Structure 1
Amino acid sequence: MASTPEQHREWILGEIPLLPIENRAIRDGLGLTLAADVRAVNDLPLWENSAMDGYAVRGEDLDGAAEDAPVFLDIVGEVPAGSAEDPDLPRGTAVRIMTGAPLPTAADTVVRVEDTVSETGARGEWAAERVGIRAVPEPGANVRKQGEDTSAGAVIASAGELLGAQRLAALAAAGVAEVPVRRRPRVAVIATGSELASPGEPLIRGQIPESNSVLLAGLVEAAGADLVSVEVSADDAEAFASRIAGLAGACDVIVTSGGVGPGRHDIVRIALEDEPGVRSVRVAVRPGQPQCVGSLRSGGWIFALPGNPVSAAVSFELFVRPALLRMQGRTRTARLRVPATAEREWRGVTGRLQVLPVRVTETDAGLTCRPAVDPRGVSHAVGGHGSADGYALVGPERGDVAAGETVDVILVDA
């Protein structure tokens, strides 16, 4: 009996090991995954500061200010951003202040320069000695309170999160200099098949241009892993077994394509039959039914995928990508699913999850999708697959899809 895609994926995610933890400087953390919660070292903001260019004042000094009757205050100082100055602010005075500058201790409000008039009567112009306030802001207006964003000691990033530019900037602002992360998986890719010729080589009868290594290498790097080797192997089971043994210690994962079926020349399946940690299963999915996966005696894991290009891509999306993310400690390993309206009908299958490459279009009414390949022959349609920017997921109980119906889509290259 075939495993469901969910069962197969959950077995993988439950068995595959996490990678070691290392500390990295903030600037070196982009694209890595946090291995532990990180707390703010300091408050954000560090101190009360101005949210506007204007004048720091005592709110009580502004009583009666109006458009046609400004209240004039003497200017007793200026605080630019980055200044450590804390000027006195006697009653009836103001301090010029710039955005981000620390608020003088005696001030409680900032008046925008646009709401003032200078000694010359010009509106919104910086005053030299006396400034007229034309409007009374709310007490505390235009002031960023200390710690209003984040307080020292608060968790500002959680284990399992991907470190993007925004997250790293927030950590740096909170005083964090280093982050605990899991290193990237080291991955080798091997495309198998005696019929494969390198791109650009003259072809003889029976040969085809090799493209799976290009496909899988790109998918590996897009999943945040490091490529250590990309190779093409002829159909020689003994040589293949020797090669994967030789990769022990050099990589954490080997991803192969081809040779997993029941045929006499399916060398990957043959070579892996003596590996007790590797299981060969049939998964209720179209395309990508035959799968071999597990731990090797020589070290590391292997994902042996079908050789048809779309089957390999779908298998990577459903099983390998989540595993590579889990190894990095990622909390979320599945892509978001979004609803899309089928632009036209297509024939489906029952009893298996159908994963159909689709083109996705954004309209005023939402997303629509249409097949990027002929639904009757998906697995080998590498040309049409190249134009796809997502996969429609049609459940095993559903079968055909009618025009206008809603299907779940995962976006992979939108």
Structure 2
Amino acid sequence: MKSLDQIAAELQGYDPQALSAQGVNDFLARLVEPVGEMQSVAIMEALGRVLAADVISPVDVPPHDNSAMDGFAFDGSQLGDGELTLEVIGTTLAGKAWQGSVGPGQCVKIMTGAIMPAGLDTVVPQEFTKTATDGRIVIPAKLLAAGDNRRLAGEDIARGKPALLRGDRLTPAALGLAASLGIPTVPVVRRVRVAYFSTGDEILSLGDAPREGAVYDSNRYTVFGLLTRLGCEVIDLGVVRDEPAALEAAFTDAASRADAIITSGGVSVGEADYTKAMMKKLGDVAFWRIAMRPGRPMAVGRIESGDAKRPGAVLFGLPGNPVAVMVTFLAFVRPALLQLMGAKAEQPPLLKARSEEAIRKKAGRTEYQRGWVSVAADGSLQVRTTGNQGSGVLSSMVQANGLIVLHHAQGNVAAGDPVDVMMFEGVI
């Protein structure tokens, strides 16, 4: 396991006092090591989990050649330059194999999903045929090619081939795919355990009486929601006062029980509290000033677990402002936790939208502005900011459906310029 100094030495231009957003993700990609423990869970309990091994198909999908349409099955070698007239000698339904034989000049009415009778390889959709006075069907010239509208056995998934891959997050479609193979359980990485607490003497928990200079803790609940949506096992340690003994007990407890620790508050430069000192005492921690807005201060590292058999917990010390907590989580913590889960490393997709307004932006830092994306009259995407972009304005996150990502080297945006947007749907 590499130390933070070793990781820093690998990164060109690493500067903890002016670290780019991309530099943060590069550092975290080297810091975080995936959880290796695997468990087998039932399909109905696997949604959102990460596969710990490939799922190999025990069957061909589909298991036999079958019809892709409601229509008439016939031998496609009979197709020529003119019309083709065929006698309908029976009907075959899904779930039953045709027991008869079909000769030249004959066809079978067939339903979608029904097994293709032996010797037949082509299906003409019913609506494309004409019916002659004697009950035979007429297929217009040059309508089909041999093999049309037939699904081949194993064309979706072949027996013995991977159907789902290690590192895939199991979506509803993936659950259905596994079930279609007759597989009742899947191997997944155990849930990542994340301990979280807020710090500061000015923080009130719900139920506390209001007092002058104090604020109710919102970060604890937004982080809980973000972690739960991600599929983590959340260990809620509440609010920890800015006292050395309390902080040491909280960090020690968290490191002994969790794979990762998230705190909010106490990492700004020059703050007169004990949080940073305790992080340094108990672990290998770096303190950054990130070239971004909002969310400039952040701490990362490891806190020792106290158990030689267990690696230290990865630490994410987030700023205290509510919006900054959410932005740093989405930009940095979420990708790192997905890596910890063993999920495939993928950056969240950014959509292109046209800015409805001018946006002031200083080059040399990445800015994440709260925005509302909508569809313009011409069908393209457009986005506007939600107004006040202060890092304490949590209501702006509620009013937004995505973050406008203004990149490090980017300057001012004019109305009508294209910008990148990170959408919230499925994330928060």
1:15 aligned residue (31, 48, 54): 31
TM alignment of 1:14-163, pairs within 5 A: 14-19=30-35, 20-59=37-76, 71=85, 73=87, 75=89, 77-91=90-104, 93-114=106-127, 131-135=135-139, 137-163=144-170
Structure 1 distance, partners of 2:166, 2:411, is: 40
Shift of 1:74: 5.9
Helix, strand or coil: the match of 1:248? helix
Helix, strand or coil: the match of 2:39? strand
Residues 296/151 of structure 1: CA separation in 2 closer, same or farther (3 Å cut): same
Moved more, 364-373 or 12-21: 364-373
Q: Which amino acid aligns with 2:28?
A: I
Percent of pairs with identical residues: 33
Q: Which amino acid aligns with 2:385?
A: P
TM alignment of 1:346-361, pairs within 5 A: 346-361=359-374
Shift of 1:321: 0.5
Shift of 1:178: 4.1
Structure 2 distance, partners of 1:84, 1:188, is: 57
Q: Which amino acid aligns with 1:53?
A: D
Cα deviations across residues 293-341 of structure 1 (Å, max 9, x unaligned)? 1111124222111101111111111211011110112223421112222
Q: Which residue of 2 aligns with 1:404?
A: 416
Shift of 1:52: 2.6
Shift of 1:47: 1.1
Q: What runs of 5+ residues in structure 2 fail to find an aligned partner?
A: 1-16, 306-311
Helix, strand or coil: the match of 1:83? coil
Residues 112/207 of structure 1: CA separation in 2 closer, same or farther (3 Å cut): same
Q: Which amino acid aligns with 1:157?
A: L
Query: In 2, are the aligned partners of 1:343 and 1:404 still within 8 Å (CA)?
Result: yes
Structure 1 distance, partners of 2:124, 2:299, is: 68
TM-score of the superposition, structure 1-length normalised?
0.85
Shift of 1:65: 8.8
2:223 aligned residue (204, 216, 229): 216
Q: Which amino acid aligns with 2:120?
A: A
Q: Which residue of 2 aligns with 1:127?
A: none
Q: What runs of 5+ residues in structure 1 fail to find an aligned partner?
A: 122-129
Q: Which residue of 2 aligns with 1:125?
A: none
2:396 aligned residue (375, 384, 388): 384
TM alignment of 1:264-343, pairs within 5 A: 265-298=272-305, 299-343=312-356
Alpha-carbon RMSD: 2.9
Residues 295/53 of structure 1: CA separation in 2 closer, same or farther (3 Å cut): same
Structure 2 distance, partners of 1:135, 1:243, is: 77
TM-score of the superposition, structure 2-length normalised?
0.83
Query: In 2, are the aligned partners of 1:258 and 1:266 still within 8 Å (CA)?
Result: no
Cα deviations across residues 7-52 of structure 1 (Å, max 9, x unaligned)? 2222112121211233334443321222333343332222111223
TM alignment of 1:160-199, pairs within 5 A: 160-174=167-181, 176-199=183-206
Q: Which amino acid aligns with 1:207?
A: A
Cα deviations across residues 165-219 of structure 1 (Å, max 9, x unaligned)? 2233334434555433222211122112222223465422112122111111111
Q: Which residue of 2 aligns with 1:124?
A: none
Query: In 2, are the aligned partners of 1:55 and 1:113 still within 8 Å (CA)?
Result: yes
Residues 301/114 of structure 1: CA separation in 2 closer, same or farther (3 Å cut): same
Shift of 1:157: 2.8
Residues 145/15 of structure 1: CA separation in 2 closer, same or farther (3 Å cut): same
Moved more, 265-274 or 297-306: 265-274
Query: In 1, are the aligned partners of 2:53 and 2:167 still within 8 Å (CA)?
Result: yes
Q: Which amino acid aligns with 2:25?
A: R
Aligned positions, number: 399
Query: In 2, are the aligned partners of 1:65 and 1:71 still within 8 Å (CA)?
Result: no
2:406 aligned residue (380, 394, 397): 394
Shift of 1:242: 0.3
Q: Which amino acid aligns with 2:136?
A: G
Residues 413/142 of structure 1: CA separation in 2 closer, same or farther (3 Å cut): closer
Query: In 1, are the aligned partners of 2:199 and 2:263 still within 8 Å (CA)?
Result: yes
Cα deviations across residues 350-386 of structure 1 (Å, max 9, x unaligned)? 43222222222221252222222434xx221222232
Cα deviations across residues 51-79 of structure 1 (Å, max 9, x unaligned)? 2334433456788995xxx946362x543
Q: Which amino acid aligns with 1:366?
A: S
Helix, strand or coil: the match of 2:334? helix
Structure 2 distance, partners of 1:329, 1:11, is: 17
Q: Which amino acid aligns with 2:45?
A: D
Query: In 2, are the aligned partners of 1:354 and 1:395 still within 8 Å (CA)?
Result: yes
Helix, strand or coil: the match of 1:273? helix
Q: Does 1:247 align with 2:254?
A: yes
